[in-house]
Structure 1
Amino acid sequence: MQGRQTNTLGSEQAQAYIAARYAALGLASFKQSYYANYTYQRAWSDKTGTNVQAWVQGCKYPEHYIVVTAHYDHLGRKGSQVYHGADDNASGVAAMLALAQQLKINCPAYSYIFLATDGEETGLYGSKAFLQQPPVALTQIILNLNLDMISRADRRGRLYVTGANKYSGLKKQLTLLEQGAPIRFLSASGPNHFNGQSRSQNWLTASDHGTFHRQGINYIFIGGQEHPHYHTTDDQWHYIDPSFLQQSLNSIYATVFWLEQQHPERLIRAK
């Protein structure tokens, strides 16, 4: 889809694909459409973007929503070169759709919104637009689960989870699931250790979960580190590691299973 840059034919094709999957899974729409167009200002001019969103109603806590995000946009074309963005972030969108399929089989405890965001690469514009005009009251959104780059390990073979430090039970469950690897828990900001060295990085600006955090909404971010093909034309499907992707999916499913067992107050008040 030619790298899915915002406002390109490839982007429109990606939107149609995601909407078709939502429909095939029987997910509900807001205002009779899966598409949510928005405008934003960049480089002193007005731009437009399109989020693709759907939802499923919960059975135990239907008035409380967990928003699952994964950005579908990427860098598009530069001249004759195509930046495919297989890991970044077709992998996260695929995982979001797989999770939606699982949650649709049996009615979940919480209501879930599945949000494929546009404009993440250029400034998190899709998630900002969603929170500026949310389809439900912001007070009803108790958590954001953000999925970004989950099909490739970094040089240490790890998947990273940020925002889970506030949930000791979740950390324990994920650690037991992976038997110590490849999960690595990171703090949102401050020193984290990479390749034996400590360096500071603000993970709140890394992807769409940062927008939810700034609104006071708790988040869990599951994603990978930068790898040699990050933001290059070589981020293509044949570099995806199927076994690592399955481990990532298992971690996502385990996270949601744990969330489903928690009372809303536990998720809202954890800081």
Structure 2
Amino acid sequence: MPKFYSIALCALLFLLQVLSFNLKANSALLHDIQQLSDEPMAGRKTAQPGAELARQYIRQRFADLGLVALQPDFQHPFDYSIGFVDKQGVNLIATLKGCNSADRYIVMTAHYDHLGTIAGKVYNGADDNASGVATMLALAALLKTQPCPSYSYLFIATDAEESGLHGAKAFVAEPAVPLQQLILNINLDMLSRGERANHLYLYGAHSLPGVTDYLNAGDFSVNLKLRHRGKGLRGQNRLDWANASDHAPFRRAGIPYLFFGVDTHTHYHTPQDDWQNIDPAYLQRMFESLSSIVLWLDKQPPEWYQAARKPR
């Protein structure tokens, strides 16, 4: 076979492999969202039985993916307080070792807790944030298919985000690996509802010089919107986007971060945030776009990340 045709055939086979993985990933994504937002999970409120069911599911998925636990059953309990009330949450942490820069870690976070049951109505939290956890699992599966990622990865399903980012704060206060080895936080919070505008928002691109140019030049299947100011998303409340989710403690620690999420929708923080209201086609477009970004980030040199770190 002539060399040109051989190269073309290899490229075609690689493309087919990527398309096949994306189709499987989309099926797994929706399945994970369905399971995590199912009625028995009862809204996954911190310290409630539904949260324990969610942890059991995520721990099994970590194990099925061949990820490594740093503590028994992937569980990292932590204490926190709200007012004068002491509480306990449980983060779940799994790791995947890299090759070229195995001592440097990219940390993916996605909170698994939600609002629970209020006035007899279950807030299932399919978009917020079963979608983020499911996407993190799918990205872990993607990275496992690579010959060997450049960096090591921590996949953290955080607890008690809804009540004040307590899981992320606990991790940064007592990290599973030294903070100086963390080069980037990718935070995933609400990823399944692009609505009519097909939007996927990103906050934090300014924390990594050069990433904005790459993203603006990219051909993504979602309408990727970069945000450079702290306010202006998630509806009428105009939340402070810089502190609105689990990337905030990493940002304060001087670690570069990228926060992916969608804007509010009519079912945000309501009992109608169910998996049946998710558009599977958008879910696939979101994952294809996010996958290409994550694989690109994995190819960037350590010096690029180190230059972006800010002193505490």
Q: Which TM-score applies when normalising by structure 2?
A: 0.80
CA apart distance, 1:46: 0.6
Cα distance in 2 for residues equivalent to 1:128 and 1:193: 23
Cα distance in 2 for residues equivalent to 1:211 and 1:166: 14
Q: Is 1:203 the counterpart of 2:241 in the alignment?
A: yes
Q: Is 1:146 the counterpart of 2:187 in the alignment?
A: yes
Measured on the aligned residues, the alpha-carbon RMSD in Å equals 2.1
Q: Is 1:248 the counterpart of 2:286 in the alignment?
A: yes
User: When the two structures are aligned, how many residues end up with a matched partner?
Assistant: 267
| Alignment counterpart, residue 260 of structure 2, candidates 198, 202, 222 | 222
CA apart distance, 1:187: 1.1
Q: Is 1:170 the counterpart of 2:230 in the alignment?
A: no
Comparing 168-177 with 55-64, greater Cα deviation is found at: 168-177
Name the structure 2 match of 1:261: 299
CA apart distance, 1:155: 5.8
Instruction: Report the structure, 1 or 2, having the larger helix content.
Output: 2
The question of whether the paired residues in 1 share the 8 Å contact of 2:234 and 2:264 is answered with no
The letter for the 2-side match of 1:254 is S
CA apart distance, 1:256: 1.1
The question of whether the paired residues in 1 share the 8 Å contact of 2:233 and 2:241 is answered with no
CA apart distance, 1:200: 6.7
Name the structure 1 match of 2:144: 104
Q: Is 1:83 the counterpart of 2:123 in the alignment?
A: yes
Residues 67 and 105 of structure 1: CA distance in aligned 2, closer, same or farther (over 3 Å): same
| Alignment counterpart, residue 71 of structure 2, candidates 31, 39, 47 | 31
Task: Map 1:16-55; keep pairs closer than 5 Å.
Answer: 16-55=56-95
Cα distance in 2 for residues equivalent to 1:253 and 1:188: 25
Cα distance in 2 for residues equivalent to 1:2 and 1:244: 26
The question of whether the paired residues in 2 share the 8 Å contact of 1:58 and 1:109 is answered with yes
Cα distance in 2 for residues equivalent to 1:4 and 1:148: 15
Name the structure 1 match of 2:19: none
Cα distance in 2 for residues equivalent to 1:13 and 1:166: 36
Cα distance in 2 for residues equivalent to 1:245 and 1:169: 27
The question of whether the paired residues in 2 share the 8 Å contact of 1:155 and 1:227 is answered with no
Name the structure 1 match of 2:251: 213
The question of whether the paired residues in 1 share the 8 Å contact of 2:208 and 2:256 is answered with no
Residues 3 and 268 of structure 1: CA distance in aligned 2, closer, same or farther (over 3 Å): same
Residues 231 and 194 of structure 1: CA distance in aligned 2, closer, same or farther (over 3 Å): closer
Give CA deviations for 1:161-201 in whole Å, capped at 9, x if unaligned. Answer: 1111354653344442227x5110001425x5999xxx975
Name the structure 2 match of 1:237: 275
Runs of 4+ off more than 6 Å: none
Unaligned 5+ segments in structure 2 are 1-40
Overall identity of the aligned pairs, in %: 45
SS in 2 for 1:177: coil
CA apart distance, 1:153: 1.7
SS in 2 for 1:59: coil
The question of whether the paired residues in 2 share the 8 Å contact of 1:40 and 1:46 is answered with yes
The letter for the 2-side match of 1:8 is Q
SS in 2 for 1:183: strand
The question of whether the paired residues in 1 share the 8 Å contact of 2:233 and 2:263 is answered with no
The letter for the 1-side match of 2:278 is I
SS in 2 for 1:91: helix
Unaligned 5+ segments in structure 1 are none
Structure number with bigger Rg: 2
Cα distance in 2 for residues equivalent to 1:99 and 1:91: 12
Cα distance in 2 for residues equivalent to 1:75 and 1:187: 29
Comparing 160-169 with 122-131, greater Cα deviation is found at: 160-169
The question of whether the paired residues in 2 share the 8 Å contact of 1:218 and 1:268 is answered with no
Cα distance in 2 for residues equivalent to 1:153 and 1:54: 29
Q: Which TM-score applies when normalising by structure 1?
A: 0.92
CA apart distance, 1:34: 0.1
CA apart distance, 1:14: 0.2
